[in-house]
A = this chain, B = another copy of it.
Amino acid sequence: MTDFRLDPRLAADTVTVLDLPLSRLLAMRGVDHPWVILVPRRPDLVELLDLAPDDRAALSAEIDRVAAALRAQTGAHKLNVGALGNVVSQLHVHVIARFRDDPAWPHPVWGRPAVRPIDAATLEAFVADLRARLA
Contacts and interface: CB of A to CB of B under 8 A. Distances in A.
B111 A81 contact: no
Contacts of A57: 57, 60
Interface string A78-104: 111111111101000000001000000
Given A57-B60, A86-B106, A79 B111 contact: no
Given A48-B63, A49-B68, A82-B84, A107 B110 contact: yes
Given A56-B64, A86-B98, 16 more contacts: A46-B78, A47-B71, A48-B64, A49-B64, A49-B79, A56-B60, A57-B57, A60-B60, A78-B86, A78-B89, A80-B85, A80-B86, A82-B108, A86-B106, A86-B107, A87-B106
